[in-house]
Amino acid sequence: MSGLYSTVYTGALRIKAALRGDRQFSIYRSLLREQYLPPHRLEQVRIERFKKLALRAIDNSKYYHQRLSEQRELIEKMQSLEQLSLLPLLTRDDLQQHYKEILCPVDNTVYADSSGGSTGSPVNFYHDRDYQMFARGLHLLFMSWIGVSYGDRTGIFWGADRDFKEASFREKLDARIDRIMALNSFNVDEISMDSFLRQLEQFNPTYIYGYASSLALAAERINQLKLTGIRPKAVRSSAEMLYESQRQVIEQAFGTKVYNFYGSREINNLAAECAAHEGMHVMASGRIIEVVDDNGQPVPDGEQGNLAVTDLTNLSFPFIRYLTGDMGTLKSESCSCGISYPLLAGLAGRSSDIISFNGLHIHGEYFTHLFYAQPLVKQFQVIQEEADLLVIKIVLRSGELDTQPLLNQITEKVGPSVRIEIEFVDSIPPLKSGKFRFTINNYNNRRKV
């Protein structure tokens, strides 16, 4: 906790939470201890929480009663989280078709939510009050890892219009009390960006967070203007894949470390970096992340696979082995920080963002390195439209770009049988969520429909 204001502010929040029956701070205190449990003891805690979740789902959810009843004995006698691979996966299609049947008629306040996802195909779901309190406790834990606190001056670079509705007087007052300054970077031009950055200099934030692409855009402008007055203690990147090239630009601009944070609309606070930066700690007290193949079977540590996530805290709408659409790798080594939570070695982005030709899978990082080395390129997007067609959209800063060297490099990577089309455009808009995708595999997306 840093600063007198933050200390007083957090104290007031604790009192307010206690009066409302909000247990986020008591959960946080438990998490501070739990994160250092020996791995075998931590696994037992997680197994007991999973049993409570799954057995309640079988008894109260029509969907899970049909899907898991035959595995009831297995769940009751579960001794290892590796046994999760014996249970069925929950897919995005399952969520779309059966979300009303997944909901448990339990005694808890529930809140409807939805996610459009990267493909624009919406899913509906519910969070309950216990989930929200536990999520806030997990976020407090993450803040303790990076040395920031509620009440610290915070700058936000976000991009979702749904999260930036026209603020009421009360909401504006709350933001002022919370000491938050935010920019909706969904549709920002150079003038509004420069104005916000100048205000941010005066504001002097301790903490900055935002979409990876929004932070990178702001960082690039800070470096161009040679601004040196925005020096937060920590920067959190979330909501999108953080590429290493973006991390370097952001850290140069803000003069501090970037902490990668992974979550989703369906299940937030999934994994995050600590100060050691040796991977992303799975928020294991409330979340289970498996890395599995297309059949739901675990892949060895160090190998890339699909992320299947179980939320241990939302008993009213159970997410059990939910395929998020993201890909990643688990790390067998422990973190030097001493926290027992397992590590994700890294995220590979969404499976729909991997460009694939003739069995070759190309990570988006390849293209970011390629184009960030081109000073004339302001923005780019790579789209696989067909099995043998790659379309590249480019926004130029000025002048003309000799595309032949780029074509040669990409052809060498994807092979001579792939057609490459380059389109120069005035702008490349983000998704409705405000997220920006550098690579899109429309061909694979169509095949999955």
Q: Which of 190, 194, 214 minimizes the C-alpha distance to 397?
A: 190
Tally Cβ neighbours within 10 Å of residue 239. 22
Could you tell me the fold of the domain covering 1-351? Rossmann fold (3.40.50)
Supply the pLDDT for residue 102.
Answer: 97
Query: What confidence score (pLDDT) does residue 14 get?
Result: 82
Q: Determine phi and psi for 81, rounding to 5 degrees.
A: -70, -15
The answer to whether residues 31 and 37 touch, using CB atoms and an 8 Å cutoff, is no
> Taking a C-beta distance cutoff of 8 angstroms, is the pair 362, 389 a contact?
no
> What pLDDT, on the 0 to 100 scale, is given for residue 120?
43
Q: Tell me how far apart the alpha carbons of residues 203 and 190 are, in angstroms, rounded to a whole number.
A: 20
Class for the domain spanning 355-448: alpha beta
Angle, alpha carbons 232-235-241 (nearest 5°): 160
pLDDT tens for the 449 residues of the chain, in order: 457 888 887 788 788 878 888 899 999 999 999 999 999 999 999 999 999 999 999 999 999 999 999 999 999 999 999 999 999 999 988 998 999 999 998 777 899 998 754 444 568 999 999 999 999 999 999 999 999 998 899 999 875 444 545 555 565 666 677 788 888 765 567 888 899 999 999 999 999 999 887 898 899 899 999 999 999 999 999 878 888 888 999 999 999 999 999 999 899 999 999 999 999 999 999 999 999 998 999 999 999 999 999 999 999 999 999 999 888 999 999 999 999 999 999 887 776 577 888 777 776 767 877 887 788 888 889 999 999 999 999 999 888 999 999 999 999 988 899 999 999 999 888 766 566 788 888 887 666 54
Measured CA angle at 213 (ends 151, 308), to 5 deg: 85
Residue 367 confidence (pLDDT): 83
The structural domains of the chain, with segments of one domain joined by +, span: 1-351, 355-448
Helix axes 129-146, 24-34, angle to 10 degrees: 50
The residue to which tokens 């930066």 are assigned: 277
The backbone region for 302, taken as left when phi is positive above 0, alpha when psi lies in -120 to 50, beta otherwise, is: left
pTM of the model: 0.81
With b for 16 or more beta-carbon neighbours within 10 A and e for fewer, the 367-381 pattern comes to: bbebbbebeebbbbb
Report which of 269, 332, 342 is spatially closest to residue 299, judged by C-alpha positions.
332
Residue 311, pLDDT score: 98
